[in-house]
């Protein structure tokens, strides 16, 4: 079966960006993760070990976001790869990173990247 687990709105403060100010000051980010898996066993057994643990997803996202990157594309790739490598039972994962109020000389609420595969 195909099932989806989402961990949305992971709010983090990180120091990603190409500008020196972004490295020094940092900014606010929101990460959304969508995982395609099969949690049929967990539905019947009520066993956390038979499904994706949200705590693991949050831990991986926080760990990778704490490592500075110039591009959110790069940190998004690291998160995506770590999820697929470290979390059992993932068929497909989608990672969305939203950077709030980016310094791009305009009145822009946010920019985002999405990696899926």
> Residues with catalytic annotation?
99
Phi-psi region of 30 (alpha: psi -120 to 50; beta: other; left: phi over 0): beta
**Measured between alpha carbons, how far is 35 from 5 in angstroms, rounded to an integer?**
5
Strand partners, 34: 6, 94
Q: d(Cα 57, Cα 34) in Å, to the nearest integer?
A: 10
Please state, in angstroms and rounded to a whole number, the distance separating the CA atoms of residues 39 and 87: 13
Beta strands per DSSP E along 1-117: 3-14, 27-37, 92-100, 110-116
């Amino acid at each position: 079966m195909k099932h989806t687990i989402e961990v949305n709105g992971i709010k983090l403060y990180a120091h990603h960006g190409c500008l020196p100010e972004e490295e020094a000051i940092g900014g606010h980010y929101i990460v959304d993760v969508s995982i395609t898996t099969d949690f049929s066993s967990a539905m019947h057994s009520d066993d956390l070990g038979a499904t994706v643990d949200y705590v693991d997803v949050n831990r991986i996202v926080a760990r990778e976001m704490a490592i500075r990157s110039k591009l959110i594309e790069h940190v998004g790739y690291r998160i995506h790869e770590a999820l697929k490598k470290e979390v059992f039972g993932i068929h497909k994962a989608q990672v969305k990173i939203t950077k709030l109020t980016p310094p791009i000389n305009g009145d822009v609420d946010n920019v985002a990247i999405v990696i899926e595969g």
